[in-house]
Amino acid sequence: KATVDEVAAEVKNAAGETNEDLTEVIGSHRYRLIHVKRFEKGVEFSVTYKLAEKGGKVYSLEAVRLDETSDEFARKMEVMVASFELK
C-alpha cells in the first residue's frame, strides 16, 4: 500500500514543473497540496493535486484547468479543492 508521500513523489515525477508542494492538517488528517504545470500538445495546464490518507488508503483529487483560465474561474477551482476533506 502506498503512502501519501509515495503518491506525492509519483505525481511530482510524472507531472512536469512543480510550482508548490504544501502540507496542511485539517482535523485529524494530513493533506499534501501539489501545484504543477503540465504541457500537452503545446498547451499549458495548471494542475492541483490534493492527497490524503485514511485507513491505509490514499485518496487523490486532481483539478486540471487551462493555464489561460480567467482569475474568477481559477479562484472557484481553488475553493473546490480547498473543500475536499475526508470524513
Could you report the average pLDDT of every consecutive run of 10 residues in the chain (87 residues)? 88 83 88 91 92 91 92 92 91
Read off the pTM: 0.86
Q: For the residues of 5-38, what is the DSSP string, one character each?
A: HHHHHHHHHHHSEEEEEEEEEETTEEEEEEEEEE
| Among candidate residues 34, 76, 72, 73, the one with its CA nearest the CA of residue 52 | 34
